[in-house]
């Protein structure tokens, strides 16, 4: 290997390690944001929709350990398999992996104190159906957290366009409006960094019986 090629290879390795470090920092930051915004504590029952490899679900599972429980979902057999393997390796018996569904959480009604998703909402083909399912899955007063990112340009005119190049993402105002249309109460919509943001919404508490 020539000196130039060796230097190029070392540069690629350094860039890869730097990217991994940034990602780990983002993961830790998101976990801390969610613990605070969702008021998570030991004993909380939570769910992550579209959990990827489960890194965030596992981090939060350690924060609700004890009597707490975590449901984590993903779409597709290969992704579910990867998620199951990651959870098994973490040895956290209070984490259940569920098959995902494009329009449903696949959770029991009123089972969760909190539900969350990261970089998933803009992929929903039928936000109204999923939002209704999210609302049903939460206990009265339960909270929903959506971490996502706005498009780099104009927002897509249609739901199906939110995952396309040039319009990839969804605005936080759109997310808040759609959640409120499903019956959620808005709590906050805050910027994180760059195009990223976090929307926190709540299922209305049950009215006390007279």
Lowest mean pLDDT among 26-35, 89-98, 169-178: 26-35
**Would residue 70 count as lying in a domain?**
yes
**Would residue 35 count as lying in a domain?**
yes
pLDDT in tens, 10-31: 544 443 333 333 344 466 689 9
CATH code, domain with 54:
3.40.50.150
Domain limits at 99? 29-202
CA atoms within 13 A on the CB side of 135: 18
Of the two residues 176 and 13, the one the predictor is more confident about is 176
Q: In this model, does residue 166 exceed pLDDT 70?
A: yes
- DSSP H/E element including 141: strand 138-149
Of the two residues 27 and 173, the one the predictor is more confident about is 173
Residue 87 is encoded by which pair of tokens? 């959870």
Three-state DSSP string of 81-118: HHHHHHHHHHCCCCEEEEECECCECCCCCCCEEEEEEE
Q: In this model, does residue 94 exceed pLDDT 60?
A: yes
Residues for the chain: how many in total?
210
DSSP state letter for 132: H
**In terms of Cα–Cα distance, which of 123, 132, 109 is closest to 178?**
132
pLDDT in tens, 43-66: 999 999 999 999 999 999 999 987
Q: How many domains does the chain have?
A: 1
Query: How far is residue 101's CA from residue 168's CA, in Å, rounded to a whole number?
Result: 21
pLDDT at residue 17 in the model: 36
Three-state DSSP string of 20-88: HHHHHHHHHHHHHHHHHHCCCCCCCEEEECCCCCCHHHHHHHHHCCCCCEEEEEECCHHHHHHHHHHHH
**Would residue 189 count as lying in a domain?**
yes
Give the three-state DSSP class for 149.
Answer: strand
**Would residue 147 count as lying in a domain?**
yes
**Would residue 111 count as lying in a domain?**
yes
**Would residue 210 count as lying in a domain?**
no
**Would residue 97 count as lying in a domain?**
yes
**Would residue 16 count as lying in a domain?**
no
**In terms of Cα–Cα distance, which of 175, 198, 185 is closest to 122?**
175
């Amino acid at each position: 290997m020539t000196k130039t090629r060796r230097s190029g290879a070392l540069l690629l390795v350094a860039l890869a390690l730097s990217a991994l470090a940034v990602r780990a920092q983002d993961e830790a930051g998101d976990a801390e944001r969610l613990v605070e915004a969702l008021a998570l504590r030991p004993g909380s029952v939570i769910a992550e929709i579209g959990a990827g490899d489960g890194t965030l679900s596992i981090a939060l599972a350690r924060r609700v350990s004890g009597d707490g429980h975590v449901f984590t979902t993903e779409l597709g057999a290969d992704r579910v398999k990867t998620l199951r393997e990651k959870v098994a390796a973490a040895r956290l018996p209070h984490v259940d992996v569920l098959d995902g569904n494009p329009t449903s959480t696949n959770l029991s009604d009123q089972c969760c104190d909190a539900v969350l998703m990261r970089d998933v909402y803009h992929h929903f083909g039928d936000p109204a159906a999923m939002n209704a399912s999210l609302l049903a899955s939460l206990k009265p007063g339960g909270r929903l957290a959506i971490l996502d990112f706005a498009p780099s340009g104009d927002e897509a005119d249609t739901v199906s366009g939110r995952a396309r190049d040039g319009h990839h993402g969804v605005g936080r105002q759109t997310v808040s409006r759609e959640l409120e249309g499903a019956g959620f109460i808005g709590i906050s919509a805050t910027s994180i960094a760059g195009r990223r943001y976090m929307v926190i919404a709540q299922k209305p508490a049950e009215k006390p019986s007279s």
